[in-house]
Amino acid sequence: MILSYWDLEVHKVQSDEDGLVAIMRAGITPREHLDEVAESLILLKGRVKPQPVISVEMLEADFDGYVLSFDGAAETSTRQGSCGCIIWKLPGWKVVTAQGFILEDVTVNDAEYHGLFKGLTMAAERDIPDVVVVGDSRIAIQQVQGLINCNQPNLQR
């Protein structure tokens, strides 16, 4: 009596992080669909979708939108600092709003974050849904985009 029309082969594979080895060994997933299947196995926690990088230089001359410019600084010995932010309306570079803030007990990165967050808050208060953000703090911008980890609990919002 035949129990099955197919031969079943069992292969032991090393456990890996996303199960890709098992998929490739199983042979039941067509090669053209491997990426789709593998994508579904990657944990969401470890997944980072890079944001499109847009700089002011990349904007068209007739770009109609908003630019948020921010900066922050702090004196490391006293931990006193300040930050500022400006929202511009393009084309024409009309200042929509600008504000500076005095900060206490901050590091340089804290001051940069405050400038970014205060600027985003000002944009939200004015119902500006999309802004091109410009600043000199690579760490603050890339952490907000999720491209690098933020290890300070007070900045993880």
Q: What is the pLDDT of residues 113-138, one digit of tens each?
A: 899 999 999 999 999 988 888 888 88
* CATH architecture, range 56-155: 2-Layer Sandwich (3.30)
Cβ–Cβ contacts within 10 Å for residue 70, how many? 27
pTM exceeds 0.75 for this model: no
Tens-digit pLDDT profile for residues 101-118:
999 999 888 899 899 999
What residue spans in the chain does CATH classification 3.30.420.10 cover?
Answer: 56-155
Which one-letter DSSP state was computed for residue 42? S
